[in-house]
Copies of this chain bind each other. A is one copy, B any other.
Amino acid sequence: MKATIKDVADRSGVSIATVSRVINGAAVVSEKSRKKVLKAIEELDFKPNQVARNLVMQKNTTIGIIVPTLGNQFYGGILNGIEDASSEMGYDIMLCTSGGDSKKEVRYLDAFEERHCAGVIIMTRKLENETVQKINSMEIPVIMMNRNTSGLKCPTVSIDNFRAAYEVTNYLIDHGHTRIALFRNSVDIDAFGVEQYSGFERALAEHDIDIDRSLVKYGEFKIQKSYELMKGLIEEGNVPTAVIATSDVMAIGVCNALLDSGYRVPEDVSVVGFNDIELAKYYRPALTVIHQPLKVMGDEAVQMIISMDKGEGRGIIPNDGRTVILSHRLIERQSSGKCKEAE
């Protein structure tokens, strides 16, 4: 059986109060007592029970995390930021994967509430109504990463998706492209997808280019799905000169489809991705992307949670729906270039 504070007290001949004092180093303890206690702690290999501690302190330094999957570097990147920041701040994280299932999201949200976690950071592929409602009624701080929806009442951290899409579209137009495809997540209520689409639309409009609806596809952030969609375009003989994918994995799916069909990237078709997961620069051709500061985003979310956890009012207001915008940038690598038809 593990030693308790009482065992230490008995063995060192002092009261548990004194033992507690030396453990927490707060109050003043005579050098003699401290020595004895330390010795007993050492001998018994005593470790304070965090569970009991949390109970009496009425607080919990655990941050709950919900993520669709761990087999994706996008979430991995953010998680690294979350983990680093929280560990530095003395918090620890409890991780759950939802597999994108809204039912599970709600269940985990419940579990975190029951545990009185300091807060929760959630990432989803798609935002279901069920989840939105649950989040809005949570009694602990919640932060949504990189996604939003009308009606969602919690802080959000992301980049400016409108500008990012606007910039990358302009970049392509500047390189002579006019037949530009857009691979989006899915037809849903996701606000960021909508913003990206607006940016795309705006850039095109500013150059008097009409949007070709047949070139707007929904790849669901999946490599395989995007692969098939691009293959479809190829079979239809409807190959664009450039494609913007709103996630790197979709960009890779697109590239693979092109490559496998004998097209060259970027000579025949330019492809740009979104996010800049580690893989983006290691894929060949290395992907031109909109870089998102994944690690920073994770870090930022943790700081917000903690500030809400202790601040309670000062600074960030929980559930006020504000969104923190981090800066992005376009990184040009090998997968994009001049449009040959324009030459």
Contact = CB atoms under 8 A, between A and B. Distances in A.
Interface of A: 2, 47-52, 54-55, 60, 62, 65, 69-73, 75-77, 79-80, 83-84, 87, 92-97, 110-111, 113-116, 139, 223, 252-253, 255-256, 259, 278-279, 282-284
Copies in the complex: 2
Contact of A94 (B49, B72, B84, B93): B93
Contacts of A95: 65, 83, 93-95
Contact of A96 (B71, B87, B139, B284): B87
Q: Identify which of A49, A60, A69, A282 gathers the most chain B CB atoms within 10 Å of its CB.
A: A282
Contacts of A49: 55, 114, 116
A97 B83 contact: yes
B80 A96 contact: no
16 contacts: A49-B114, A51-B51, A51-B55, A51-B115, A52-B55, A55-B55, A62-B94, A70-B76, A70-B83, A71-B73, A71-B76, A72-B73, A80-B97, A93-B95, A256-B284, A284-B284
B60 A71 contact: no
6 tightest A-B contacts by CB? A70-B76, A71-B76, A70-B79, A95-B95, A47-B114, A83-B97
Contacts of A73: 71-73, 76
A47 B140 CA distance: 13
Contacts of A253: 282
Contacts of A72: 73, 76
A60 B51 contact: yes
A261 to B, nearest CB: 12
A103 B284 CA distance: 37
A70 B93 CA distance: 13
Contacts of A96: 83, 87, 92-93
A111 B92 contact: yes
A284 B271 CA distance: 15
Q: Identify which of A60, A65, A77, A80 gathers the most chain B CB atoms within 10 Å of its CB.
A: A80
